[in-house]
């Protein structure tokens, strides 16, 4: 346990109770900035990225989903999510947090968590809590009703994200056994990716899939969103150090190099397979690299990050073809093969490349890489099982009682008109 504590202190893993309670202005300024960067990833980053990838008749529905989820999850985080995820749960601490900050009644400007005001700590983690369910939207676009989608995201946040966040980042039982996740490879990408896959299977494909090409309507919009994601992601990874220190700098450098490596790898894969590199491929590879480095950003060396990026480009490239062309699952915007696979595989690779032998800062396990890999696999498996089970139940119940999918006529007309009575473009 002492080694786990030392590693947490060294890397600044988002956990509480390990730092001296003394305000540090530099740390506070950096985490305030990081919170803004992560929120920038969702609005407008993810909204533009997803919006450009759907057909023009559905672009507003995607942007509306991102905006509405941001607002809804922010309130849920304030009402109960933060308290249950990241405060002390007493006798239930290994499983769930406490209720001391329900409705944020005890929040004030002077209360600290480590070197940060608790308000800054809560706000920073709120942006992670927003981004996770927003990712799921990408798998379900162009065929789900607005209200059932929001209801699913709200319940999923409380029943999946909050417990998993506590288990790993709130000093819960997975943290106690040594699961390593610096910036959300398991907590965010693994859990959301699995939920997206379950949803895509249960709701079924869009009309015409896979016979009719369902092409993106505006790759320029997607490119703008991808650029914002790349920039904003540094708040995601470097901010997870929770300090303005060397760990944050290494996390930022490793994140950028991994994204770059993955993007170049994807370009090469496109060139080999299709004869020409694609803009969408370059962007998708970059996002895959960002997802795969999330778990190990502050643990691995820059060289290790480059290798992880190469793996991300290859693994996620072939995952898309496996999911869509062989399994015929209409994960519309490739949430599981890009985010789920990258988060899961990245968490596993963290157990290797974080080791000092590969230039990393060291692993938690005293018994070596193979024991750490076992711990990582266990944490991944628990998250997959929990997210898949809860997501299945939620989709089943919501569909049974209120229905989750639009009619064929509404799908043909587009969700912009039938769900929001507006259009993205007036030609």
Residue 27 near residue 35, CB atoms below 8 Å: no
H-type helices in 157-218, by residue range?
Answer: 162-169, 173-177, 191-203
Residue 306 tokens read as: 């480059």
According to the model, what pLDDT value does residue 169 have? 97
H-type helices in 275-298, by residue range?
Answer: 279-293
Of 75, 97, 132, 91, which is closest to residue 15 (Cα–Cα)? 97
Give me the domains of the chain, ranges plus CATH numbers: 26-419 (1.10.3430.10)
In angstroms, the CA 235 to CA 31 distance is 8
The stretch 290-311 carries a mean pLDDT of 97
The stretch 211-240 carries a mean pLDDT of 96
Identify the band that residue 6 occupies on the pLDDT scale cut at 50, 70 and 90: very low
Work out the widest C-alpha separation in the chain, in whole angstroms: 65
- What pLDDT digit, counting tens, does each position of 146-176 carry? 999 999 999 999 999 999 999 999 999 999 9
Triad 255, 164, 38: Cα angle to 5°: 40
The stretch 347-367 carries a mean pLDDT of 95
According to the model, what pLDDT value does residue 11 have? 44
Assess whether the previous peptide bond of 44 is cis (omega < 30° from 0): yes
Phi, psi of 18 (to 5 degrees): -115, -10
pLDDT above 50: residue 348: yes
Residue with tokens 């947090």: 97
pLDDT above 80: residue 10: no
Identify the band that residue 21 occupies on the pLDDT scale cut at 50, 70 and 90: confident
The helix/strand/coil state of 144 is strand
Of all helices (H) and strands (E), which one includes residue 390? helix 369-401
The helix/strand/coil state of 204 is coil
Average pLDDT value for the chain? 94
């Amino acid at each position: 346990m002492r080694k786990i504590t030392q590693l947490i202190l060294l890397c600044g893993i988002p956990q509480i109770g390990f730092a001296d309670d003394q305000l540090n202005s530099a740390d506070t300024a950096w985490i305030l900035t990081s919170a803004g960067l992560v929120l920038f990833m969702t609005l407008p980053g993810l909204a533009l990225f997803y919006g450009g990838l759907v057909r023009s008749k559905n672009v507003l529905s995607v942007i509306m989903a991102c905006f509405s989820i941001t607002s809804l999850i922010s309130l849920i985080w304030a009402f109960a999510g933060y308290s249950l995820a990241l405060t002390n749960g007493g006798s239930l601490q290994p499983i769930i947090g406490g209720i001391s900050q329900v409705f944020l009644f005890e929040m004030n400007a002077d209360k600290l968590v480590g070197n940060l005001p608790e308000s800054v700590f809560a706000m920073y983690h709120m942006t992670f809590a927003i981004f996770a369910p927003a990712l799921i939207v990408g798998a379900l676009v162009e065929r789900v009703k607005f209200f059932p989608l929001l209801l699913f995201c709200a319940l999923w946040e409380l029943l999946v994200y909050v417990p998993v966040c506590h288990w790993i980042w709130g000093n819960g039982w997975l943290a106690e056994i040594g699961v390593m996740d610096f910036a959300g490879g398991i907590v965010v990408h693994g859990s959301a990716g699995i939920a997206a896959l379950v949803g895509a299977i249960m709701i079924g494909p869009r009309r015409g899939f896979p016979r009719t090409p369902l092409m993106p309507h505006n790759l320029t919009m997607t490119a703008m969103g991808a650029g914002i994601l790349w920039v904003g992601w540094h708040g995601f990874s470097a901010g997870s150090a929770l300090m303005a220190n060397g760990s944050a700098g290494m996390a930022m450098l490793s994140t950028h190099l991994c994204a770059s490596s993955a993007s170049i790898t994807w370009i090469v894969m496109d060139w080999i397979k299709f004869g020409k590199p694609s803009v969408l491929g370059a962007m998708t590879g970059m996002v895959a690299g960002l997802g795969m480095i999330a778990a190990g950003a502050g643990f691995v060396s820059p060289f290790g990050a480059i290798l992880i990026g190469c793996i991300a480009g290859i693994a996620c490239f072939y995952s898309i073809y496996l999911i869509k062309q062989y399994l015929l699952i209409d994960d519309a915007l490739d949430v599981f093969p890009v985010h789920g696979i990258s988060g899961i595989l990245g968490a596993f690779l963290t157990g290797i490349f974080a080791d000092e032998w590969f230039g990393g800062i060291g692993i938690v396990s005293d018994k070596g890489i193979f024991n750490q890999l076992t711990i990582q696999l266990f944490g991944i498996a628990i998250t997959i099982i929990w997210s898949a089970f809860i997501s299945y139940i939620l989709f089943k119940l919501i569909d049974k009682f209120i229905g989750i999918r639009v009619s064929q006529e509404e799908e043909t007309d587009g969700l912009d008109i039938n769900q929001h009575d507006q259009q993205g473009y007036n030609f």
